[in-house]
Amino acid sequence: MERRHKIALYPGDGIGQEVVAEAVRVLHRLEVRDRGLHLELTELPWGASYWQKTGRVVPEGFLGELRRFDAILLGAVGWPATIPDHITLDPLKRIRQTFDQYACVRPAKLPRGVRCPLVGKNPGDIDLVVVRENSEGEYVDSGGRFRVGEPEEFALQTGIHTRRGVERVLRFGFDLARKRRKRLAMATKSNAQRYGYVLWDEILEELRPQYPDVDSRREHADAMLMNLVRRPESFDVIVASNLFGDLLTDLSSLIAGGLGLAPSANLSPERRAPSLFEPVHGSAPDIAGKGIANPIAAIAAAALMLDWLGEASAAQAIHNAIDSALAAGCATPDLGGRLTTREMSDEVVSRLA
């Protein structure tokens, strides 16, 4: 039986275009391997180049265009030399919020063959997932700047935390922990922010009795960052607000081998809209066009996408191929190797044969 999925490719800017091209090669190889799998890939030419032609990063009705797809595979956005970051990132924020992609899931697992920057930590010591609340918190545009240019100028930026938003992302984290090692840690800062994060604390306490099989706790965000370095093996599933999740995922990716290996899933758990999958490394203008970007994060993001679409076997095949290549010492410059972007993906594709 043929299984068809409509995928929007949004390569974006910089190395995003390079790594998405390699992820597409892997997806095509899977279609050859599995004759029942058919992926309808549509590339969207949005980003900095679109800006130069039209004065916009994306077209007027871009959300309506994206809604007709089953999933979105993003490369990276941003070209600071030409466009301010808040402009290039705005479509991404609008996608997350309009499609209610409230669960940003970022796994961090140290692979065999990759050196950990933490002394004495080995594969098996770092295997965690950060679930970042993705729809509200500190990244909702609530506030403004006042008396601009005057000595008394001030900016007001308000974090929005709702009971509905906090509860649903915590439930998502608890459910994920049940499928893993049944441990959950929530990031808070209720010692300093007495309204928003006291709400987080209270909702965690309300939910804990409903998940008696999960060992749950809360940690102040600064202590959690420290403990990710001191004892990363103590973490399984971490749930955090939008801002804290942003910080925690960068650190967890680093200790698991680097941003070049780190995929991300922006999920709409109720599946009322497409979910978005991406590497977390950004557009990296300093190495764009040099052919040395690590494609593994984008390839792993494609695997997360397939798993979300119900193609668990194909997703696992990609993960196995990635693990095999890294264990064999295949590495791009960010991992201390000399392989080009294409050569690295060649190693993954060959292991899918």
Q: Same domain for 121 and 240? A: yes
Q: What is the pLDDT of residues 261-309, one digit of tens each?
A: 999 999 999 999 999 999 999 999 999 999 999 999 999 999 999 999 9
Q: Same domain for 216 and 331? A: no
36 CB neighbour count, 10 Å cutoff: 10
- Confirm if 69 and 42 have CB atoms less than 8 A apart: yes
Tokens for 285? 């203008």
Catalytic residue list: 139, 189, 222, 246, 250
Nearest to 3 by CA among 25, 26, 31: 31
C-alpha 95/C-alpha 89 separation (Å) is: 10
Q: Is residue 339 a part of any domain in this protein?
A: yes
Q: Is residue 309 a part of any domain in this protein?
A: yes
Q: Where are the beta strands (DSSP E) in 134-182?
A: 143-146, 154-157
Q: Same domain for 94 and 213? A: no
C-alpha 172/C-alpha 170 separation (Å) is: 5
Q: What is the pLDDT of residues 10-59, one digit of tens each?
A: 999 999 999 999 999 999 999 998 889 999 999 999 999 999 999 999 99
In this prediction, residue 55 carries a pLDDT of: 93
Q: Which of 221, 256, 291 is the last residue of a domain?
A: 256
Q: Same domain for 180 and 289? A: no
Q: Is residue 111 a part of any domain in this protein?
A: no
Q: Same domain for 40 and 167? A: no
CA distances from 315 to 30, 39, 221, 309 (A): 9, 14, 32, 10
Question: Is the Cα torsion angle 324, 327, 333, 337 positive or negative in sign?
Answer: negative
C-alpha 78/C-alpha 284 separation (Å) is: 8
Q: Same domain for 267 and 243? A: no
Q: Same domain for 267 and 334? A: yes
- Confirm if 348 and 319 have CB atoms less than 8 A apart: no
Tokens for 126? 């770092």
CATH number at residue 243: 3.40.718.10
Tokens for 102? 């409230």
Tally of structural domains, the chain: 2
CA distances from 304 to 7, 55, 107, 307 (A): 13, 33, 10, 5
337 CB neighbour count, 10 Å cutoff: 16
* Domain span holding position 237: 116-256
Q: Same domain for 148 and 248? A: yes
Burial per residue of 164-203, b for 16 or more beta-carbon CB atoms within 10 angstroms, e otherwise: ebbbbbbbbbbebbeeeeebbbbbbbbeeeeebbebbeeb
Q: Which of 256, 290, 309 is the last residue of a domain?
A: 256
Q: Which of 256, 272, 290 is the last residue of a domain?
A: 256
Q: Is residue 54 a part of any domain in this protein?
A: yes
CA distances from 14 to 52, 143, 191, 281, 290 (A): 15, 32, 41, 11, 10
In this prediction, residue 299 carries a pLDDT of: 98
C-alpha 155/C-alpha 141 separation (Å) is: 12
Q: Is residue 41 a part of any domain in this protein?
A: yes
Q: Is residue 57 a part of any domain in this protein?
A: yes
Q: Same domain for 190 and 87? A: no
Question: Is the Cα torsion angle 260, 75, 289, 246 positive or negative in sign?
Answer: negative
297: left (phi over 0), alpha (psi -120 to 50) or beta: alpha
Q: Structure pTM?
A: 0.94
Q: DSSP secondary-structure letter at 110?
A: P
C-alpha 49/C-alpha 66 separation (Å) is: 19
Q: Is residue 241 a part of any domain in this protein?
A: yes
Q: Same domain for 265 and 353? A: yes
Q: Same domain for 35 and 120? A: no
Q: Is residue 6 a part of any domain in this protein?
A: yes
Q: In tens digits, what is the pLDDT along the chain, a chain of 353 residues?
A: 789 999 999 999 999 999 999 999 999 999 998 889 999 999 999 999 999 999 999 999 999 999 999 999 999 999 998 898 889 889 998 999 999 999 999 999 999 999 999 999 999 999 999 999 999 998 888 899 999 999 999 999 899 999 999 999 999 999 999 999 999 999 999 999 999 999 999 999 999 999 999 999 999 999 999 999 999 999 999 999 999 999 999 999 999 999 999 999 999 999 999 999 999 999 999 999 999 999 999 999 999 999 999 999 999 999 999 999 999 999 999 999 999 999 999 999 999 97
Q: Which residues pair with 83 in a beta bridge?
A: none
Q: Same domain for 139 and 247? A: yes
